[in-house]
């Protein structure tokens, strides 16, 4: 009985350590790539696309 309890505690500890390592990896990747967490970058990219389209439309009208 005591062996089963110790085995269960060890498994729980291994699971907790694995989840902690995954958490640290996710936080590290997210902090190194701020565009992954910044929704403002999407609106910036779409506004740049709109500016490019406007420039192409203007060039087409001039010629």
Residue bearing the bigger pLDDT, 53 or 30: 30
Residue in 40, 17, 15, 37 with CA at minimum distance from that of residue 27: 37
- Tokens representing 11 are 């498994």
Provide mean pLDDT across the span 26-50: 72
Could you tell me the pTM of the whole model? Answer: 0.51
Buried b / exposed e over 26-47, threshold 16 CB at 10 Å, is eeeeeeeeeeeeeeeeeeeeee
pLDDT of residue 51: 64
């Amino acid at each position: 009985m005591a062996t089963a309890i110790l085995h269960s505690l060890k498994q729980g500890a291994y699971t907790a350590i694995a989840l902690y390592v995954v958490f640290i990896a996710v936080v590290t990747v997210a902090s190194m790539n701020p565009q992954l967490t910044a929704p403002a970058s999407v609106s910036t990219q779409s506004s740049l696309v709109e500016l490019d389209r406007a420039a192409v439309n203007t060039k087409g009208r001039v010629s």
